[in-house]
Structure 1
Amino acid sequence: MNAVTSSPRRPLVRRLAALGMAGLLLGASGCTAESPPAAENVQAVEASGSPGPPAIDEEQLRETFERLAEELLVPGAAMLLRTPERELEFTYGDRARDDSDPVDLQDHIRIGSVTKTWTGTIILQLVEEGRLSLDDPVSKFREDVPNGENITIEQLLNMRSGLYNYSESYELSLALDETPQRVWTPEELVGIALPLPAYFPPGEGYHYSNTNTVLLGLIAEELEDKPLEEIVQDRLLDPLGMDESAFPPSADTALQRPHPQGYMFMDNVLTIASTKLPADLIAAAESGELEPNDVTDANSSWTWAAGQGTSTAGDVAVWAEALAEGGVLGDETQQLRMDSLQPVDPDNPESPLYGLAIAKFGELYGHTGELPGFNTFMGHDPGNDLTLIVWTNLAPAADGRDPATSIARELIGEIYGR
C-alpha cells in the first residue's frame, strides 16, 4: 500500500459569538435545511467525460488534495483511492480545531445522503422478492400522500415524485437551530412536507427531496415489520462485513469513536437563502477572524432514511463497490438500476445523471452525502475497478461549496486526464 499522510495546522481563531452562527445544512440534496437542493445533489460533479484507463500520479493527486483542503478551510479531510495496482490513503488536518490529533482513515463520519443508497437498495431487494413493484402507487402504502395514486415507488427512488422536500422548510430549519438535540420521528418529517405544495406533477420534473426517501423507509418498515436500523443491518451491513458502519437509532445518533468533530459556519435558517457566506464573512473566515461552529453532536434523526448513516472511508469503499458492481442485488435488478440513470435536466446535454438512488459522476457510479459538519463523496468505476472516497469535517465551505465533492471533482479530472 502506498500511503501519504499530511496534517498541516492552521492557527486557531476566536469565535465571533455575536454573529450567532451555530449549525448549518445537511446538504440540500441529501440532508440539509437549505432551500434549493444544490449542495449535495449530483450537479456537484460533471457526468460527462472521455472514457479510458485512469492515470495515477500519486504526488500530483496528493498536492491537489491538500491544496483544495486548505483552500476550502476544512479542519480535516481524508481520501481513499483504490485500484487493482495500489491503494492510496491521504489525510489532511486534525479531528478537531483545538488540538493536534490528526484525522485517520479509520475515523467514523456521518455519511448523509449516501444513506439514500442504502434505503433505495433495500427497496430494490423487496422488489426482487415480489413484496412490491416499482409501478406500485404510493397510495397503496400511504393514503395520506397527496396525489399518491399517481406517484410510483420508482418516482420516489429517482426524485421525480414532485413531493415537497421537508428539509427546505423554515419550520425544520428553525427547529434544528433552536433544538439541535431534538429527536425527530419519520412521521413528523413527512408531516412537514405533505401539506406543502408539490413542485410539479409526478414524473414531470426532477427535484431532490428527502421526503421521497423517508417515505421509502416507512414502506420498508411496514413490509419488514421491524425498525429500519435492523433492516439495514440485516440486509446490507452484515452481509458485506461493514462492521464499522451503522444506521444508529434515532434516540442516540452519536458517532462511534474514533471520530472527527464536524464544523459549519452558518445556521440552518440562513442556508435557506444561500449556503454561501457574504463576502465580508468569507474574508473573515479566510483570515481566521471567523471560526466555524462545532455541530458534531447534533441529533441527525431529522434525516432518518435519507441521511442518518455513519461509516468509515474503508466501509464506504466497500459499499461503493457493491453498489456499482451489484453485490447486493441480482443481475437483472442491478442492470435495471444502472439503466435507470437519466439527466436531471433533459434539455441540458451535460446535465448530471440520477437514477434509482444512484448517481453517475463521469465514469464513477455512487452518491454524495452532506449534513451539518460532514461532506462525503463516494464513487466506483466498474470498468477500471477504481474506487474514490473523500470526506471532510466541514460542510459547507465558507464560499458555499461542498468540500469533499469539490475535492473529488478535481481528483477525478486529474485521474481521467480532463
Structure 2
Amino acid sequence: TFLSAMMLTQIEDGLYELTDTVETLLSDHPDYALIDIDYVNTDVTVEQLLTMTSGIFDWSTPEDLSKRMEIMLAPTWKPADNLSKISLPYVEPGSYHYSYANSILLGLITAHYGGKNLNALYQETFFEPLGLSGGLLTEVAEPPDTATAYDNLEKYGAGSGFGDLSSGPMAIYKGKDPRISWAGAAIVSTPENIARWGFELFSSSGSALSNAVQAQLINSLTVDIGQESPSGLGVHTYGYYIGMADVSLSDGTRIKTYTHPGGGGGRTSWLYYAPSLDVSLSLLANSPLLHDPGTCGYQGMNYMSVGECMAGGIFSTLLGMPTDRIVAGAAGKSGY
C-alpha cells in the first residue's frame, strides 16, 4: 500500500503517468541492462504493473525456492538482480497474476523519479508527516526487538516441525528475506502504526493522500481476481496494490473492507479498513498463523483464514454483535 500511494503521489506531481511504459521510464536507469531482458515485457504500463495485470511472472513458486535462496545469499545485491530469476516467459497483459517482478519494477520507477531510495521517500512523504514509525527493510536495519519468525521448517529444507527461522541452518538468511520482493513486502513497523496508516490512507478524514488521489486509489478496485487471491485469501477485487474483501460477521452478514495481506519468511500480516465503520485494523504475527485456515466459518469452497476470523470478530464487537460464533454468509455453511 505504501508503494502505490507513493506512485500516485508522484503522478499527481507530474513526474510520470499511469500510461507510461517500463521502457519509457527506465531506459535511462543505470541498471536497465538488468531490466531489459527476455522475460520482462518493457512495454507494460505503470497501471498494468500496479493492478498485477502485466503478464510478467516471478520467482515465488515452491519450485523457485533455490532462486529465492540465491537472492538472499548473494554477496552483493540490487533490486534489479531479482528479475533474472523470473521462471517463465511473460504473457499478454490483461489478466490478474500476483508477481514479485511488478513490485521490483515499480520500486525502481519510484526511486528513479523520486531521486532517493524508497525508504527516504516513504519517510519524508508519509512516515514523518503522519507521525508514524517504520521503515523499508534492505534500506533500514531490522529493529533489535523484532519478533523472531517461526514456520514449518520442512518448507525450507531446514529440518522438521515448527521452528525458529533465525537459528540453525536458517540463520544465514536472517534479515535477508526482504530482498525477495523488496518494494512489495519489506515494511517493518508495529500494528498500531500500520492501523493508523490504513486510516490515513483510506478514511475521508485521513491525510496521507489528497482527496483526488485517494479517490483514484479506491476507484482502482476494478480487477476481478477470480480464484487467485493474494496468498489464496478472501480478496475478490484488486486495484493499485490494494484489495477488496467482504469479511464475514457473527450474524452471517459481511462487511466491505479495503485490505491487503502480507508476509513471508515466517511472518504474516493483514490490513483491513472498513469504510462503513471508518475503522482500520492491523493484524501481525511472527508465524504463518494469520494465513492458515481458521475454524470460524467457510466461504463456499474457500476457507476463511485466521486473519479474517479475527477481523470479523473485532468488527462484530464494534457493531455490538455476539462474537462466540463467526459464520460465513455464503453456501449456508458455518463453523465454530
Q: Structure 1 length as normaliser, TM-score?
A: 0.59
- Displacement after TM superposition at 1:262 (Å): 0.6
Q: Which runs of 5+ in 1 are unaligned?
A: 1-116, 271-280, 282-289
- SS of 2:106's partner is helix
Q: Which runs of 5+ in 2 are unaligned?
A: 28-35, 247-255, 295-303, 322-326, 328-336
Q: For residues 237 and 407 of structure 1, what CA distance do their matches in structure 2 show? A: 29
- Displacement after TM superposition at 1:159 (Å): 0.5
Q: For residues 309 and 366 of structure 1, what CA distance do their matches in structure 2 show? A: 16
Are 1:406 and 2:305 an aligned pair? yes
Provide the aligned C-alpha RMSD in A: 3.1
Give the counterpart letter for 2:96 in structure 1: Y
Corresponding residue number in structure 1 for 2:137: 248
- SS of 1:196's partner is coil
Corresponding residue number in structure 2 for 1:265: 152
Corresponding residue number in structure 2 for 1:221: 111
Change (3 A) 1:147 1:408: closer
Are 1:372 and 2:243 an aligned pair? no
Mapping of residues 345-360 of structure 1, within 5 Å: 345=226, 352-360=236-244
Give the counterpart letter for 1:196 in structure 2: L
Deviations 1:333-388 (A, max 9, x none): 2112111112212999x971110111122222121111111101111113212222
- Displacement after TM superposition at 1:242 (Å): 1.0
- Displacement after TM superposition at 1:401 (Å): 2.2
Mapping of residues 145-160 of structure 1, within 5 Å: 146-149=40-43, 151-160=44-53
Deviations 1:177-226 (A, max 9, x none): 47855463211112222x7312x3112x1100111111011011111222
**Partners of 1:345 and 1:351 within 8 A in 2:** no
2:122 to 232, 237, 262: 232
Q: For residues 278 and 51 of structure 2, what CA distance do their matches in structure 1 show? A: 25
Corresponding residue number in structure 1 for 2:82: 189
- Displacement after TM superposition at 1:123 (Å): 0.6
Give the counterpart letter for 2:137 in structure 1: P
Corresponding residue number in structure 2 for 1:136: 20
Change (3 A) 1:267 1:396: farther
- SS of 1:261's partner is coil
- SS of 2:259's partner is strand
**Partners of 2:150 and 2:162 within 8 A in 1:** no
Change (3 A) 1:369 1:402: farther
Mapping of residues 4-19 of structure 1, within 5 Å: none
- Displacement after TM superposition at 1:227 (Å): 1.3
Q: For residues 257 and 166 of structure 1, what CA distance do their matches in structure 2 show? A: 29
**Partners of 2:56 and 2:101 within 8 A in 1:** yes
**Partners of 2:244 and 2:257 within 8 A in 1:** yes
- SS of 1:260's partner is coil
**Partners of 2:59 and 2:67 within 8 A in 1:** no
Give the counterpart letter for 1:197 in structure 2: P
Corresponding residue number in structure 2 for 1:395: 288
Q: For residues 162 and 59 of structure 2, what CA distance do their matches in structure 1 show? A: 29
- Displacement after TM superposition at 1:321 (Å): 0.8
1:305 to 175, 178, 183: 183
2:93 to 154, 179, 202: 202
How many residues matched?
Answer: 274
- SS of 2:244's partner is strand
Mapping of residues 259-338 of structure 1, within 5 Å: 259-266=146-153, 290-295=161-166, 297-299=174-176, 300-325=178-203, 327-338=207-218
Give the counterpart letter for 2:211 in structure 1: D
Q: For residues 302 and 236 of structure 1, what CA distance do their matches in structure 2 show? A: 24
Give the counterpart letter for 2:245 in structure 1: F
Q: For residues 228 and 70 of structure 2, what CA distance do their matches in structure 1 show? A: 41
**Partners of 2:72 and 2:180 within 8 A in 1:** no
Q: For residues 346 and 177 of structure 1, what CA distance do their matches in structure 2 show? A: 28
Corresponding residue number in structure 1 for 2:249: none
